[in-house]
Amino acid sequence: MGRRKVTKYQKFKVLTLLQAGLTYQEIRNTLGVSNGCISNIAKKEKLNLPLENRPGQGRKKSTTPEEDRHLIMLMKKNRRKTSRQLASRWNLSNGKSISLRTVRRRLFNAGYKSYTTKWKPYRKPHHRSVRLRFARKYSTWSFNEWKNVIFSDESHFEVFNRKTRSFVRRLPSEADQPFNFQPRVQGGGGSVSIWGVMTAKGVGPLAFYDGRMNGPNYIDVIKPQLLAYIKKNFDSNSSWYYVQDNAPCHKSCFDMNWFKRNKINTLDWPATSFDLSVIENIWDIIDKKLTNYHPTTVDELQ
């Protein structure tokens, strides 16, 4: 392990404690510095020398600026490589060895920190082009036009298992304490599935359903709630749209015929684009609020 740099402030504290008559062991235990460091400061004080090192003193860096740039270049070729993999590749290229700690320190000093990757749906080039066409087509829509869009979606909530992350404050030595764990119950202790809508006017009705969705079942769930909501909030002569994702139960011939018979215009939505639908945020809000209620049964969850 390399020597830790002692700051100017720490050196003056060592000198103050020496002048106060404390022993090397007492100073070491108080400030966490080595006996060698204390001895050097004592010698400098005796010889009336400055406590600060002269410029250029101290251990030289094991890598040159050019070698540091090479390390960054290797990292940029594959940003998911581990420190061990980067060190191995760098060592082969430069004919000398650097430690994993040096790799991490050089990257950190250059501003590159390690972050958890974000999850997103896999999108093929076709998906991306459809999303781009969608964005261009509706980029000129005004707020008044988006006010006439009904966003819909389904979600699933379990009694015990929450989707949101939780945090706990602890010491490094308390990693295995019971309070550090968030139990997960197999099956979630029961669950509810819901369909809901929202518009610029706010959230709309919710409908609970059981089991897997298919075309006829989907219509059975949404029919009473959706038709009543449309009748109450939208003029039959105005242009308005119903938005749903591309799940098979939404796009069956049975569904499309029902929408057509009831004069419900559906807005074509690009695949794998749940991030474009505002109602997705509602499910996150609900899940976070459930962490404060701690339901223990399906009835309480509803």
Q: CA 29, CA 36: separation in Å to the nearest integer?
A: 14
pTM over 0.85: no
Beta strands in 95-190 (DSSP E): 149-158
pLDDT, tens only, 92-111: 888 888 899 999 999 999 88
* Alpha-carbon separation of residue 111 from 85, 108, 114 (angstroms): 19, 5, 10
Q: How many CB atoms lie within 10 A of CB 143?
A: 7
- Give the total number of structural domains in the chain: 3
Do 197 and 72 sit in the same domain of this protein? no
pLDDT, tens only, 265-285: 888 888 888 777 888 888 888
pLDDT, tens only, 224-266: 999 999 888 887 767 888 988 888 888 889 989 999 999 888 8
Do 206 and 273 sit in the same domain of this protein? yes
Structural domain contains residue 102: yes
Do 209 and 295 sit in the same domain of this protein? yes
Range of the domain at 14: 8-46
Do 19 and 88 sit in the same domain of this protein? no
